[in-house]
């Protein structure tokens, strides 16, 4: 089969966010898949001299394997636009909106997707923290407004733990969300191109939610594909996932996270515009269950980027 692009591909990885190590794992897996498919590809460990790195590499297309701030929030996308280098995944605006949970939740709610109650509190606003607790009630979730991989996220069941959780979230962002805790099944929908590939069920083995440790430590969670829900609920989740992807204007691929409550209703948590891309990450696991191997998934993401750049 012919290569979808003869240009040299630079796999951007690492970066300067709290998700650096996760990004390095994604980037190495992507690079291995591309070279195994016969592509001229090189890894770029992104640092403050990223412009010089990219220019020196001579790449003609970028596979964005970054996660978190500067990679997932529209920053690197804007830089690549200025440099005239096509790249995988969503553009500047969709990336920025997807990374900011306040903006994305507001848009999802306006589009008719189910979003749990939440309040926004700025650093130093003690009255806001107090009122958020009384308005949302316990149990609740405290999280930074613009972090991924569940960094800085806490499920809080009693008032005694609230201040500690807020302090943790404020370490990562100047504004945080206090959300209602929705009890139910954690389900994540994989999007590729313009279709929902499938939905996977996550059963965390610790922390009571899909925490950083549950995501990346051995034995942290169990996965079931397809998700163990009735067919009608499964279809509802797929439709909601694709709708959320389109609401933000995402391109290429994404992973959409839901809690499905006891009534079978999917409540959206967030859209990950640059989901993990190791061979055992959730989007690749969904793709594998749908008949798409990891190297083929990586190649399809490149193909979608090439199509985007030719429009």
Is residue 257 flagged as an active site residue? yes
Q: Which of 87, 216, 234, 253 is catalytic?
A: 216
270 is catalytic: yes
Half-sphere exposure of 47 (CA within 13 A, CB side): 4
> Residues 226, 288: contact at Cβ < 8 Å?
no
Q: What is d(CA 34, CA 221) in angstroms, rounded to the nearest whole number?
A: 28
Q: Which residues contact 243 (CB under 8 A, 6 or more apart)?
A: 111, 113
- Please report how many Cα atoms fall inside a 13 Å half-sphere around the Cα of residue 127, on the Cβ side: 0
Question: Which entry of 257, 281, 285, 299 is annotated as an active-site residue?
Answer: 257
Residues 6+ apart with CB under 8 A from 205: 214, 219, 220, 221, 222
Catalytic residue among 95, 145, 149, 154: 149
Active-site hit among 10, 43, 65, 276: 276
β pairing state of 9-14 and 41-46: parallel
- β strands within the chain, DSSP E: 9-14, 41-46, 61-64, 118-122, 140-144, 154-156, 175-180, 185-192, 195-204, 221-224, 253-260, 266-272
Q: Which two tokens stand for residue 155?
A: 């499920």
Cα separation, 33 vs 303, whole angstroms? 14
Q: Which residue out of 255, 281, 285, 299 is catalytically annotated?
A: 255
Catalytic residue, from 5, 19, 23, 119: name it.
19
- Is the previous residue joined to 226 through a cis bond, with omega within 30 degrees of 0? yes
Of residues 72, 147, 201, 270, which has the active-site annotation? 270
User: Is position 20 annotated as part of the catalytic site?
Assistant: no
Active site residue 276: yes
Active site residue 255: yes
Neighbours of 295 (CB within 10 A): 18
Instruction: Give the gyration radius of the chain's Cα atoms.
Output: 19
Per the listing, tokens 């979003």 go with: 115
Catalytically active residues are 19, 149, 216, 255, 257, 270, 272, 276
């Amino acid at each position: 089969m012919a290569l979808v692009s003869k240009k040299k591909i630079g796999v951007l990885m690492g970066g300067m966010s709290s998700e650096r190590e996760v990004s390095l794992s994604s980037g190495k897996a992507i690079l291995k898949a591309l070279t195994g498919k016969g592509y001229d590809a090189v890894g770029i460990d992104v640092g403050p001299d990223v412009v010089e790195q990219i220019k020196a590499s001579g790449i003609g297309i970028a596979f964005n394997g970054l996660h978190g701030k500067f990679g997932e929030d529209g920053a690197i996308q804007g830089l690549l636009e200025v440099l005239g280098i096509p790249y995988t995944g969503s553009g500047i605006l969709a990336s920025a909106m997807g990374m900011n949970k306040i903006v994305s939740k507001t848009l999802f709610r306006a589009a008719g997707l189910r979003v749990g109650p939440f309040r926004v509190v700025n650093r130093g606003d003690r009255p806001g923290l107090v009122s958020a607790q009384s308005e949302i009630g316990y149990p609740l979730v405290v999280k930074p407004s613009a972090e991924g991989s569940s960094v800085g996220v806490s499920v809080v069941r009693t008032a005694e733990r609230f201040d500690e959780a807020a302090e943790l979230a404020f370490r990562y962002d100047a504004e945080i969300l206090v959300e209602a805790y929705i009890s139910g099944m954690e389900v994540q929908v994989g999007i590729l191109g313009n279709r929902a590939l499938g939905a996977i069920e996550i059963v965390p083995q610790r922390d009571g939610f899909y925490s950083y440790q549950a995501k990346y430590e051995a034995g942290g969670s169990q996965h079931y594909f397809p998700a163990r829900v009735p067919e009608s609920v499964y279809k509802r989740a797929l439709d909601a996932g694709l709708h959320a992807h389109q609401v933000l204007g995402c391109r290429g691929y994404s992973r959409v996270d839901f809690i499905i409550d006891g009534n079978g209703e999917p409540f959206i948590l967030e859209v990950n515009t640059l989901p993990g891309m190791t061979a055992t990450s959730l989007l690749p696991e969904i793709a594998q269950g749908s008949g798409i191997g990891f190297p083929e998934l990586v190649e399809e993401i490149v193909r979608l980027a090439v199509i985007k750049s030719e429009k």
